[in-house]
Amino acid sequence: MDLGKVLHISAQGLKAQGTRLRVIAENVANADSLPQSPEEQPYRRKLVSFANSLNRALGFETVRVRGIEPDRSDFGLRFEPGHPGADADGYVRTPNVKSIIEMADMREAQRSYEANLKVIEASRSMVQRAIAILR
């Protein structure tokens, strides 16, 4: 496999994992947000899905973000009768974001991002060594 293909594949991986990290950061930032009226929905966690994408011009597959979709799991409930978002029974719906899951997902995305970055760094190092040999 030529170096251009390797760099392209790794760059697509960086882009996909960067998107995933941004979505996870949004989830974490909104984990404690509550609705301001009983009719409002709380923040709904978002999930990133990936797909293989065939680059016909270059002749190989890369990863791409298929979409960012809402997590359809149930909202939590917290008894807080004085809150403006509380229902008639005094419960406020809370976002379906679980911080521990977001942290685990963030660590996984970070490791994938770093792995793709290391491939690019190793490729650059090989090119620099080849140029040094040719001098």
Look at residue 54 in the predicted model and tell me its pLDDT.
85
This prediction has a pTM of 0.85
CA–chain centroid gap for 101, Å, is 12
Specify the 3-state DSSP secondary structure of 22. helix
Per-residue model confidence as pLDDT tens digits over 47-99? 999 999 887 877 888 899 999 999 999 999 999 999 999 999 999 999 999 99
Q: Are 42 and 33 in contact (CB under 8 A)?
A: yes
Look at residue 2 in the predicted model and tell me its pLDDT.
81
**Cα–Cα distance for residue pair 32/24, rounded to 1 Å:** 14
* Selection from 64, 57, 65, 63 nearest residue 4 by Cα: 57
Specify the 3-state DSSP secondary structure of 15. helix
Rg (CA), the chain: 22
Per-residue model confidence as pLDDT tens digits over 2-53? 888 888 889 999 999 999 999 999 999 999 999 999 999 999 999 999 999 8
